[in-house]
Amino acid sequence: MPLSTINSKGQILIPAKIRRKFKISAGTKINIEEKDDELILRPITSEYLDKIAGILKTKGKLLKALLEEHARDREKENSL
């Protein structure tokens, strides 16, 4: 099991092998969920959004908005 350390800014380094497996790159948003005494980290990727599509019965409107926001975030990153 890979270990990581929290730095003084509260940041955590995710090992490269795990980043590749879950398609996490710079700027990827992470959903942090508390469950009992555990933290669950879920990267918000297009695969994750496809997986949860339809659970809120928004007829795709929420998914579309999330994908558009994701695309805007990527554009901002690329312009820096």
Q: Among residues 70, 79, 75, which one has the least CA distance to residue 23?
A: 70
- For residue 27 the two structure tokens come to 């700027």
> 15: which DSSP letter?
P
Give the model's pLDDT for residue 55: 63
The domain spans of the chain are 16-79
E-strand ranges in the chain read 29-35, 38-44
13-35 pLDDT, tens digit each: 999 999 999 888 888 888 899 99
44-78 pLDDT, tens digit each: 887 777 777 666 666 777 778 888 888 888 888 88
